[in-house]
Structure formats: structure tokens, C-alpha cells
Amino acid sequence: MANTTLKQTYSLGGDLTINRMGYGAMRITGEGIWGPPEDRDEAIRVLKRALELGINFIDTADSYGPNVSEELIAEALHPYPKDLMIATKGGLLRTGPNEWPVNSHPDHLKEALEGSLQRLKLDKIDLYQLHRVDPEVPFEKSLEFLQNAQEQGLIKHIGLSEVSVEQIKKAQEYVKVVSVQNMYSVDNRKWEAELEYCEQNNLAFIPWFPLGGDNQEALDKLTQIGEKHNASVHQIALSWLLHRSPNILLIPGTSKVKHLEENYKAASIALSQEDMDDLEKFKAS
């Protein structure tokens, strides 16, 4: 059952209270998430404006650029406000634009984590996420690295990305998992069971590619609901996610201040139960 009363904050790991509308910093890079952004000054403005709006959860990764996103975050925002939580990830290599080979071997994760700490100018990462499970590396080895890094004080909380319920349970044998970042949107419910598992077990669920867009019927319905609320398709898609479950944290990404402000307004849209019911039918699509 959807909750049409929006809770604006979420307590990650039981000790980090953050606003559910966050910002994903993948897009402040070049085309193909490769190299520097086309408009570097605008990227800096986006990061600063995010904090002005009240956003205190920024999601990035060493592979965005690579390195570019983390470097810009530090340049724009360091020294960081006390309530700002920066989440980053390790486990992907970059061999060119739009190329993302997986490498979650402990040796690579060590290099990635050390690089992220240096670029972000941090002694500890609030939320460090395994970007992908590596089919060439035993999952246990990647988990043992995260476990050790946490014990060393380099990581506060641990998250996973693009994982099944079975993989989440496996990880929980080694570490306390506080978040799962999987692809999810109105018209892409592949990970529905994982969202429900996270909700039942008090894990944050962080949908990436939250705007979907392949299903024309879903787009038509989002447009119709948007007209009722004087909102865009993107704003309704984001609002639906916030209403869908109280453990969902949003990280829509953009390289433009205008789009950032438009995305942020989605948090103030109150969808009705009828709106939610109209969009629920895409669960099976």
C-alpha cells in the first residue's frame, strides 16, 4: 500500500538523518561520464545550490569521470557542513566513455577507497557502496575488504549496488548493510522484491535511473497526473518514488541548476491515492 503522507527525512544506519531528496553527482562530468564537464562553472554552481536547497545527501563514485565528480565535490563544498553526507562507490574501472568493466577485487577496492578519501578530502566515507558484484571475484573477498576497511575506521556505513535479495543476505553475513542502490522507476520494477526486502529490514533503497521512460503508456499516465499537479513528467516520476516507500532515497542527477531546482520541487508534490493506484499497474510491466 502506498503512503501518501510524505516523510521528508530518513535515518541511515540509525545515526545519519538525511533529507530523502538527495543529489546524484554522476552528470557533472563529460559526455559518456568521461572527463570534465562541458561547463565546469555550472557544475560547481549545481553543487553549491544543492546545499542551499537543503540537500544533505550527495551520491558519487570514483568511476564518474573517472575521479572528476569527487574532485569537483571537494572543490565546491569542502570544508563540508556537518550534516552533509557524501556517499561514494568502488568496484568499476573506466576504459573509455560509457565503458564500465567490473573489478571488485580487494586490491582494486583498496586503491579506489584510498583515492576517494584523498579526492574528497575525508578521513572516513559516511557511506561506501560496492558498485557491482564481480563475477570473477568471490563475493566473500569483496565483502571481507569492506569489513576490514570499516574496522579500520575508513568507512562508516556499507551499501551495495545492483544486487539481489540473496546477495544482500550473503553480504549481511559479513557486514551490516544499510543501503541498496538498484535501478528502479515507475516503468522498471525489476528489483521490486529487493525494494520490499529493504523496506521490511530497515535498509535504504536508492533507485538509480529513477526517471525510466521506455514505457509510453507510463509516460502518458505521468503526463496526465503532471497536468493535474502543474508538474512535469520527471517531477511526478520522482514524487512517485518518494511516495512509493518511506525508505527510498532519491539521487536525481543533472549538470544544470535549473534542472536541479525542478527536481527538488518534486519533494513538495502531494500525490493522491488515486494517483498512486493509477501508477501501480505498471508494477507488472
In contact, 280 and 241? CB cutoff 8 Å: no
In contact, 142 and 163? CB cutoff 8 Å: no
Q: Which amino acid is at 166?
A: E
Rounded to whole angstroms, how far apart are CA atoms 145 and 110? 8
Is residue 261 classed exposed, middle or buried when 0-12, 13-18 and 19+ CB atoms within 10 A define those classes?
middle
Q: Which amino acid is at 255?
A: S
Helix (H) or strand (E) holding 261: helix 257-265
- Looking up cell 536525481 gives 252
Rounded to whole angstroms, how far apart are CA atoms 271 and 119? 40
- Residue 264 designated active-site: no
Q: Which one from 23, 64, 184, 264 is the annotated catalytic residue?
A: 64
Rounded to whole angstroms, how far apart are CA atoms 245 and 3? 7
Q: Which of 120, 144, 126 is nearest to 13 (CA)?
A: 126
In contact, 25 and 166? CB cutoff 8 Å: no
Catalytic residue positions, numbered: 64
